[in-house]
Amino acid sequence: AQSVSQHNHHVILSEAASLELGCNYSYGGTVNLFWYVQYPGQHLQLLLKYFSGDPLVKGIKGFEAEFIKSKFSFNLRKPSVQWSDTAEYFCAVNAYSSASKIIFGSGTRLSIRP
């Protein structure tokens, strides 16, 4: 069965620190990959997505993610975080074989100290 793992459940950083959130998936075929963010009290919104082409994807608010097929990973990065990045981050994977289903990871809560 397909699954998505986010090993960091809660990450605490100071402002201006660099961020990397891990995401690994289990599926050997072609995948579409997403990162969603949920700010406190708000609904989920898309940060970035990868379908094909350049494996380094840039999203909103200075976030980027790199798809490494050999490692089944799609880690989210930001060189310098801000207090406003405090949120919960979800990785999601859609496998071409089951186009109707998108599997979400369990989420990583990011807390930024001012």
Partner 1 sequence: EAQVTQNPRYLITVTGKKLTVTCSQNMNHEYMSWYRQDPGLGLRQIYYSMNVEVTDKGDVPEGYKVSRKEKRNFPLILESPSPNQTSLYFCASTQDRGTDTQYFGPGTRLTVL
Nearer to partner 1, 1 or 114 (CB): 1
**End-to-end CA distance of the chain, in Å?**
41
Smallest gap from residue 27 Cβ to partner 1 (A): 13
Q: What is the largest CA-CA distance in the chain?
A: 44
- Options 11, 13, 17, 102; binder of partner 1; rule CB under 8 A: 102
> Does residue 36 sit in helix, strand or coil?
strand
CB atoms within 10 A of CB 56: 11
Between CA 91 and CA 103 the distance in angstroms is: 8
Task: Return the residues of window 22-41 that contact partner 1 according to CB under 8 A.
Answer: 32, 34, 36
- The contact set with partner 1 (CB under 8 A) reads 4, 6, 9, 32, 34, 36, 42-46, 49, 51, 90, 92, 94, 96, 99-102, 104-107
